[in-house]
Amino acid sequence: MLILAFESSAKPASAALVRDGKLLAQSLQVSALTHSRTLLPMAEDLLKNTGVSLGEVDAFAVAHGPGSFTGIRIGVSTVKGLCWGAEKPCVGVSTLEAMAWHGLAAGGLICPVMDARRAQVYNALFRIEEGRPVRLCPDRAIALEELAEELRALGESAFLVGDGASPAKEYFDAHAVACRLAPDGLVWQDAWGVAMAAQDKPLISGAELLPVYLRLSQAERERQARMEQEKG
């Protein structure tokens, strides 16, 4: 299956073309430009440079969360539009599961970490088994203190990936939690991981694709707080 994948859940923007688990091309950039300006041009360049037409793509894949609310919406909206225009199916995958694929060479316990603000990180734990990440817990928003206790109880070094990996390592080092930081080429989220995570997922229509935020947006939290005050 030929998959055109997108990742826009955090600061990096990435697009990748993957056929049956083999990377054909990938583009990634970490810039000040909004993802709405970068994702489609990246995809167009990938297709042009590999000599692949949009009609040859079997499905689109996207990291549908958790992550930046704006980034997730851009990625999901981009794929919805492509599905509608090209009449193709798609797959939405967990951003954290996609990141866990970066731990294949490291093996062992993989700990994706994304900044969730409000003194929390988005996280899930995975273990590399038979050449792929196996999920150990659901995606969640969790305080670093809680995550540190959980990792300490497991008693093994965790391989940290994601845009929150560096600050997490600083915290873990200060609290005697065994961990390793992914190198620069693996620490960022990317569309290759999205494509790999999509390999065994059921295909859905663009209309069925939905973002997964894990928690309310700031605007929704403020609205909820106002409603509770009015009730009080």
Residue 37 within a domain: yes
Query: How many domains does the structure of the chain reveal?
Result: 2
| One domain for residues 69 and 79 | yes
What number of other Cβ atoms are within 10 A of residue 90's Cβ?
27
Q: Kindly report the pTM of this predicted structure.
A: 0.91
Residue 124's closest CA among 74, 81, 85, 67? 67
Q: What is the pLDDT along the chain (232 residues), one digit of tens a residue?
A: 999 999 999 989 999 999 999 999 999 998 766 898 899 999 999 999 999 999 999 999 999 999 999 999 999 999 999 999 999 999 999 999 999 999 999 999 999 999 998 889 999 999 999 999 999 999 999 999 999 999 999 999 999 999 999 999 999 999 999 999 999 989 999 999 999 999 999 999 999 999 999 865 444 444 544 555 556 5
Same domain, 201 and 158: no
Query: Is residue 157 included in any domain, yes or no?
Result: yes
Domain, as residue range, for 51: 2-95+189-222
**165 within 8 A of 113, measured Cβ to Cβ:** yes
* One domain for residues 79 and 14: yes
Both 12 and 87 in a single domain?
A: yes
- 193 and 180 in one domain? no
Q: Are residues 148 and 138 in the same domain?
A: yes
CA 183 to CA 171: how far, in whole Å? 18
Residues 61, 113, single domain; the answer is no
Q: Are residues 169 and 209 in the same domain?
A: no
CA dist., res. 176 & res. 165, Å (int): 16
Residue 70 lies in a domain: yes
Do residues 8 and 64 both lie within one domain?
yes
Residue 90 included in any domain:
yes
Residue 232 lies in a domain: no
* 12 and 30 inside one domain: yes
In a domain, 230, yes or no: no
The sign of the dihedral angle between the CA atoms of 114, 9, 211, 181 is negative
CATH number of the domain to which 13 belongs: 3.30.420.40
